[in-house]
């Protein structure tokens, strides 16, 4: 579509932009690059439905009323997919923005889902497990009542404040309401393994961050343009957020790639060590004490936000949205910002970072590991078949034949470690990790190609949105929705 054919004009951004406005502003850059038809552009950006639910639950003899939302940004492909967030600061705008990001994220990595997101205003730490179960099951009932929970239409997953346990409760609640649905386990992803989950889902987002970084560092020209050199080994990384995503990313980057985590930031402050923190020891300390404070032998600062501005090679915000804003973006010292969280860089901050020449790897690609492996879990649930079950032993038998042939030709035995690798059939975890790596690699190549094909898409975020929005627009036009 030519630029001349488009009459789309982005809405003015208010001084205190909402999360949704920030996401829309980033999408607007790609829409302008594509010269997209105004009507299609508005259809793509519009959240198609937001359901608000209010329900009462009796807790310890008193009645409490809870408010939650489920936003479906797009069902151009079904089901719509997105996590459920439990937090006292959840609000409708946040859920709407996160649903939009899910639409773009799924399109970038070629996962055939629309975008959705859910949230419940609650502090899980204030409730006992039995109370949380009652609240979660009531929330699931409300979602079902409004058509927001179904293997075919709307599939939640874990997010901040939720995990395997909550997904198991939701799946069981759905099963009780739909006992004849053979695919009931596919109504949510991120479940425990024994209840239809998939190996590798818990680590998926953090591992995906690592795969994204590895793929970026394979491109010498991209690395040089970011003001860096070489590979990940020895790179100084400041990490904000040490939950599921941050922990697994840090663990792998240190253990497998030789990077150094020089600071870990949480809400209570920052743990700092220029020589590199012992990630597993910090994790164990946090599990035992629920705080970074008091970790032996390292500097702790209660000024966590200030630690974002520490000198480092790579900054990985893996906590919440809007952590890097117009206020602190001018002071960042990292050469590369890797968005492991959703929306950690605001639109205004993104502009400042681009003007300063700081490279940003966008959230819609970097943290897509979770939804990618959720897709694998969903497919596994629909197929009722564990990945690798049909071919694993066949692969092992062929490996044995290969080793036997090598030994016959050379007259020498194959060394035991090599033999073990050659005859080992792929387990489910191997296939999941392979599929995740392949997905993120392909998406990165699509982003680079979009950047090369559109000179106005000078940054990776705009190029990623070009990839996403062009795919979604094609669905709208090909279906005749104009």
Write out the catalytic residue numbers. Answer: 117
| Residues in CB range of 171: below 8 A, 6 or more apart | 184, 185, 187, 188, 191, 195, 196
**144/139 Cα distance (integer angstroms):** 9
The CA distance from 123 to 128, in Å, is 11
HEC string of 428-440 equals: HHHHHHHHHHHHH
Sign of CA dihedral 385, 375, 184, 120: positive
């Amino acid at each position: 579509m030519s630029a001349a054919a488009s009459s789309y004009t982005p809405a003015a951004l208010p001084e205190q932009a909402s999360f949704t406005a920030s996401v829309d502003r980033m999408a607007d850059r790609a829409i302008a690059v594509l010269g997209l038809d105004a009507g299609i552009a508005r259809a793509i950006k519009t959240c198609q439905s937001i359901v608000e639910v209010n329900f009462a639950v009796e807790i310890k003899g008193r009645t409490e009323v809870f408010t939650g939302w489920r936003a479906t940004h797009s069902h151009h492909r079904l089901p719509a997919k997105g996590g459920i967030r439990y937090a006292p600061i959840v609000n409708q705008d946040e859920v709407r923005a996160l649903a939009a990001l899910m639409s773009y994220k799924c399109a970038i990595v070629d996962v055939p889902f629309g975008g959705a997101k859910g949230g419940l205003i609650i502090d899980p730490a204030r409730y006992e497990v039995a109370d949380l179960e009652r609240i979660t099951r009531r929330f699931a009932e409300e979602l079902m009542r409004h058509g927001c929970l179904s293997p075919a239409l709307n599939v939640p997953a874990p997010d901040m404040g939720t995990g395997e346990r909550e997904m198991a409760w939701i799946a069981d609640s759905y099963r009780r309401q739909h006992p004849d649905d053979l695919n009931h386990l596919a109504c949510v992803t991120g479940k425990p393994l024994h209840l239809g989950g998939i190996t590798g889902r818990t680590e998926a987002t953090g591992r995906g961050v690592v795969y994204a970084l590895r793929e970026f560092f394979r491109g010498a020209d991209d690395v040089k343009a970011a003001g860096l050199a070489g590979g990940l080994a020895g790179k100084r990384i400041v990490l904000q957020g040490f939950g599921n995503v941050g922990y697994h990313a840090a663990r792998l980057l240190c253990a497998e790639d030789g990077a150094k985590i020089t600071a870990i930031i949480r809400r209570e402050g920052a743990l700092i060590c220029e020589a590199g923190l012992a990630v597993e020891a910090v994790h164990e300390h946090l599990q035992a004490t629920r705080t970074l404070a008091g970790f032996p032998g390292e500097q702790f600062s209660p000024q966590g936000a200030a630690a974002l501005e520490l000198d480092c090679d790579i900054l990985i915000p893996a906590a919440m949205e809007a952590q890097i804003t117009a206020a602190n973006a001018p002071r960042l010292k990292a050469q590369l910002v890797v968005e492991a969280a959703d929306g950690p860089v605001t639109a205004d901050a993104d502009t400042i970072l681009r003007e300063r020449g700081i490279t940003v790897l966008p959230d819609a690609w970097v943290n897509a590991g979770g939804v990618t492996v959720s897709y694998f879990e969903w497919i596994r649930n629909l197929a009722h078949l564990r990945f690798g079950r049909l071919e694993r032993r066949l692969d092992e038998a062929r490996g044995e034949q290969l080793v036997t042939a090598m030994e016959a030709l050379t007259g020498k035995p194959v060394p035991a470690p090599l033999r073990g690798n050659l005859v080992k059939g792929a387990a489910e975890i191997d296939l999941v990790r392979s599929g995740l790596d392949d997905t993120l690699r392909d998406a990165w190549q699509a982003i680079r190609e979009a950047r090369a094909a559109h000179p106005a898409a000078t940054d990776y975020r705009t190029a990623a949105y070009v990839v996403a929005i062009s795919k979604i627009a094609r669905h709208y036009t090909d279906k005749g929705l104009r």
